[in-house]
Amino acid sequence: MPNFPPGTGQSLAPAVTPTWVFTPTPNVKSPSIRLYNPGYSQPVYIGGANVTQFNGLPLYPSNRPVEFQNMPTSIYVCSGATRGAVGGTLGSASTAGTTTVTLAAAVPAGLAAGTTVMIGSTANTSSMDVNVVATTTASSALTFASPLLYDHASATVVYAATANIGTVQVIATAS
C-alpha cells in the first residue's frame, strides 16, 4: 500500500512473508494507520520489514482495530503458519537476504515448489524463517519466493508447514 491519502483503505490476505501495507505519505501532518482483522479464525502479525509470526504484534480476528498515530515508518504484516514434519536440514550455512539454500540431502517430495516451510530451531523461534518454496533442483537446492530474514547455521532444520492465511483491513488516516 504505497502512499495513499488519508481515508484510503484496502483489504488484503498477507503472505507468510512480510507484506508491505503502509508508508506515510510525505507532507501529511500526523500520518496514522488503522489495522483491523475481520477474519474468522486466523491472526495476522504487525511489525517492520522483518515481521514474522514469532516477533510481530498479533492482531486477532474481530478484535478492536489497532491504530498507530504519528507513524513515521513503513508497516508490514504477515500471516502465520503451523509447523509440520521435518523436511531436511541445511547442508551449509545461509545468510539473511539469500533466496536459495542447499539441503544436506536431496529435496524430498514434501518440500516441492509452492510448499510453505519453516527454517530454524523450535527452541529459538525469534530467528525462525517462514517462507514459500518457489523452485527446487533435482539435487538439493531450494529457492524461495522471498529473501530469508535471518542467518541460519549448517544443519538447521527445515520443516514443511501449513500457511494460516489471515485477512487485514488497512486504512490510512490523519490525526
Same domain, 19 and 58: yes
Q: In what order do the strands lie in the sheet with 66-68?
A: 9-12, 168-174, 31-36, 66-68
Instruction: Tell me the pLDDT of the chain averaged across its residues.
Output: 90
- Of the two residues 42 and 174, the one the predictor is more confident about is 42
Same domain, 86 and 45: no
Residue 25 has pLDDT above 80, yes or no: no
- Of the two residues 167 and 6, the one the predictor is more confident about is 167
Residue-wise pLDDT for 113-155, tens only, equals 999 999 998 888 888 999 999 999 878 999 999 999 999 999 9
Instruction: State how far the Cα of 75 lies from the Cα of 155, in Å rounded to an integer.
Output: 33
Residue 1 has pLDDT above 70, yes or no: no
User: Residue 126 falls within a domain, yes or no?
Assistant: yes
User: Residue 121 falls within a domain, yes or no?
Assistant: yes
Same domain, 75 and 18: yes
Residue 16 has pLDDT above 80, yes or no: yes
- As a whole number, mean pLDDT of residues 5-32 equals 83
pLDDT at position 82: 95
Could you give the number of structural domains in the chain?
A: 2
This prediction has a pTM of 0.88
Same domain, 91 and 157: yes
Question: What's the Rg (C-alpha) of the chain?
Answer: 17
Same domain, 46 and 75: yes
- As a whole number, mean pLDDT of residues 39-51 equals 93
Same domain, 86 and 151: yes
Residue-wise pLDDT for 52-67, tens only, equals 999 999 999 999 999 9
Residue 78 has pLDDT above 90, yes or no: yes
Residue 146 domain boundaries: 82-163
- pLDDT classification of 6: cutoffs 50, 70, 90: low
Share of the chain above pLDDT 70, in %: 94
- 175's CB contacts (< 8 A; 6+ apart) are 30, 32, 69, 70
User: Residue 4 falls within a domain, yes or no?
Assistant: no
Same domain, 34 and 71: yes
Q: Which three cell numbers stand for residue 81?
A: 503458519
Q: Tell me the three state secondary structure of residue 160.
A: strand
Of residues 44, 34, 17, 29, the one with CA closest to residue 167: 44
